[in-house]
Structure 1
Amino acid sequence: MDIRRVGEYDVLALTALIWFLGKFVRYAFPPLFEPLQAGYGVSNAAVGAAFSGFMTVYALMQFPSGAVADRVGAVRVITAGAGVAAVGSLAILFDAPFLALAGAMLVIGAGTGAHKTVAVRLLSRMYPVRTGRALGVHDTLGAFGGVVAPAAVVLFVSPLPGLAALLSGLPGSDWRGLFAVTGAVGLALAAAFVARVPGRLSAGADGGRKRDDPGPSARDYLALFEDRRLAAFVLVTVAFSFAYNGTVAFLPLYLSEAAGLATTTANLLYSALFAATFVQLFSGDLSDRLGRFPVMVAALGLAAAALVGAIALADSGALALGAVVVALGLGSHGFRPVRGAYLVEALPERLAGGGLGVVRTLLMGAGAFAPAVVGAVADVAGFRPAFALLAGSMAAAALAAGGLWLTT
């Protein structure tokens, strides 16, 4: 093995590890809801509101983090974000009232929210020929944080005797030890990132502006949407985000209530949706070779067909629905790194960070809106009409992407 070739990917490795830790912390909170309710004596609404605050701050950080990176460079923003998230994690160690915990969650949301938009731009500049592959690795490792987090929560909530003795010196419950680990690892990664990455970047890869450059204005970012092709692609991403997030929120209930599967079987199939995340390693690389739109159209078409299949095969049993869920995961996850690679290529270099931030804010807003819409439709008309709406949104994204491909 050529060690020098392996060394080319140290920037990718450090950036992806920070993203893994950010997703790990995010997905560690929902499994902790029950211990938090018991420990603090709060309601479902209280822990739900705290997590909503976390996600709202995360979403709101997309544009400002990208815009700041356009001015001061990606390395500073990613390092600062990792450091802020680590400090928020360490703050949870203190046995303070629930309101203080909620405040620490907001800090973590701000820190983790500063990463993804800026990381996409940094990796696209660092690996211009292999952007799709780099983003596929980055997003896959991040998604794996969501796979590991629930198991880690179980380990700290009900620790083995040796670990319990080690955690006994912490204030409050043993689960706080999880945030001691994430905080310490976050600070270590931030230090390694700022020490290693600047020296590995080629000229201009970090971005940032010269001293006499006032930088882009808000009008400059809004003017991006005067490009009809870019605006059309943003609609593709918004339609996809609505369909995907609405599906993720209600797929377990759909499988158990509309399809009649046992709860344990529904949850097992739900996990298969995320297990398919490894397709990102291949879809990003394939788009580097074949082009962005062929891969995006295929991925979106597969996801749309899978949602239609979920409705048509709802009474066909676990095996058929399992195949549908895997197909949905392959299509949905396969689209994501290619979307990021296309956006950084389509946006002007000077506006790449903030422009990507604007787009991510829009698509995350659509994703946040989707569960409320799906829930309302399901209450009124049932889950099948609700999933038909999601299938229509995914199909619209596939058709719009196909139109952009044909008119290239």
Structure 2
Amino acid sequence: MVFLINLSRVVFAPLIEPIRAATGASDATLGLLATLVWVGSAVPRLPTGYLLTRISRAQAIFGSGVVLTVGTTFTALTTDPTLLLVGGFTMGLASGVYIVAANTLISELYPDSPGKMLGRHGVASQLAAVGAPALVSAALLFGDWRTTLQVMAVAAAVMTVVFTVIAKRTAFPEAGAADTDLVGAVRAQWRIILTGVVTLGFMTMVWNGLFNFYVTYLGTIGVSESTGRILLQVVFGTGVPAFYVSGRLADRLPAVPYLLVIVAAFTGCILVLPVVRGFWPLVAFSAVTGYVIHSSFPAADTYLLGSLPDHHRASAYAAYGAGMMVIQAPGSVVVGTLRDAGISFATIFEWMGGGLVVLLVLLLALHADGRLPETAEA
């Protein structure tokens, strides 16, 4: 099910150019479409944290499947750019509910190795990102840009039914039974929540703007659209081993230093992007950048979910997810708007890299001063 959930968030990256050709939408509109998917993923996270104090994780996951089915069906049936924005937002809603509920459930099912199991879950998620360009390319051979979404809608309905059947036969842990106070959890865990929000939020805002316009950017430096989709697939492909390896490293390494190394590596990638030219250098860049950014997700999830106590886990993680996604979501619309204003991609990436340098210096200074929390409050 996580395959379809993540596919709903990344499928618009390879669809941007086909949608542009079919609708004549501008960069700003297409950037807004990609952004609204991530805004949709951000909006329900805090409400989901509250919802999980009242219903089970499995019930919330079932609800996310229903929303995904409805949202994808709606999007697949429309050609109006405005209604596409509504459909993309609805698809994002499903992912926000699912991620909070499912990641919390996984960490409770496997309390002795949360990083390892979250990494495996992430691998399944990342396979969707890897397959998205190929799935879109295949769909374009048999139909138009809507064909991909139509197939996704059918698959989402089927997987929701399958999950429901399996959930009814599974005995879930009672670890979250004491997690009944969302506000209390946030007050108690605000330091680790804020650290996660700032670190992952700004880093993934840059990532969001990069991957959604990666094919478009590559076109401006002479790379064909088909080759650009291959390079995008490389970016997502290296995320598969990244989730697998990083999840295990997160169980073994000190959480904060490990995250800081990832931030530093990603900052370097963004700073060198404007000077990378040639197919094989771009392949190498795509592989390294994809590995680095996807390593951050199991690292951050393990940092929080692996140390949050049972009575705060879902609520605090939902607050983190909501805050992080609010910062991340505007990445694509920022890039699209700057492009419509005539700013070159090279300048945009230089500005983003400079912002990440500021973030890294701030985090290093706070860590050296002992002000970044190593774990959650007991």
Residues 149-158 or 81-90, more deviating: 149-158
1:241 maps to 2:211: no
- 1:194 aligned residue: 164
Q: Structure 2: which amino acid aligns with 1:127?
A: Y
1:351 maps to 2:312: yes
Q: Evaluate the alpha carbon distance shift between residue 61 and residue 253 of structure 1 in structure 2; reply closer, same or farther with a 3 A threshold.
A: same
Any gaps of 5 or more consecutive residues in structure 2? none
1:399 maps to 2:326: no
The SS at the match of 1:158 is: helix
TM-score, reference length from structure 2: 0.78
1:333 maps to 2:294: yes
Q: Structure 2: which amino acid aligns with 1:133?
A: K
- Residue 82 (structure 1) shift: 0.6
Q: For 1:204 and 1:318, how far apart are their aligned partners in 2?
A: 52
Q: For 2:343 and 2:21, how far apart are their aligned partners in 1?
A: 30
- Match runs of 1:5-404 below 5 Å: 18-32=1-15, 43-44=25-26, 49=32, 51-91=34-74, 103-159=86-142, 178-197=148-167, 199-205=169-175, 207-208=176-177, 215-217=180-182, 219-224=183-188, 226=190, 228-249=191-212, 262-263=223-224, 268-278=230-240, 279-310=242-273, 314=275, 319-320=280-281, 322-371=283-332, 376=338, 379=343, 382-383=347-348, 385-393=350-358, 395-396=360-361, 399=364, 403=368
Q: Evaluate the alpha carbon distance shift between residue 126 and residue 105 of structure 1 in structure 2; reply closer, same or farther with a 3 A threshold.
A: same
The SS at the match of 1:71 is: coil
TM-score, reference length from structure 1: 0.73
- Residue 158 (structure 1) shift: 3.0
Report the count of equivalent residues: 366
Q: For 1:342 and 1:186, how far apart are their aligned partners in 2?
A: 30
Q: Conserved in 1, the CA contact under 8 Å of 2:70 and 2:153?
A: yes
- Residue 235 (structure 1) shift: 2.6
RMSD over aligned CA atoms reads: 3.8
Query: Deviation per CA, 1:159-185, whole angstroms, max 9, x where unpaired?
Result: 2xxxxxxxxxxxxx7665544433332
Residues 196-205 or 143-152, more deviating: 196-205
Q: For 2:358 and 2:234, how far apart are their aligned partners in 1?
A: 22
Q: For 1:361 and 1:240, how far apart are their aligned partners in 2?
A: 15
Q: Evaluate the alpha carbon distance shift between residue 400 and residue 283 of structure 1 in structure 2; reply closer, same or farther with a 3 A threshold.
A: farther
Q: Which structure: larger Rg? A: 1
Query: Deviation per CA, 1:175-232, whole angstroms, max 9, x where unpaired?
Result: 6554443333223322222322354344314x356xxx9x325x32541455x45533
Q: Conserved in 2, the CA contact under 8 Å of 1:308 and 1:391?
A: no
Q: For 2:233 and 2:366, how far apart are their aligned partners in 1?
A: 28
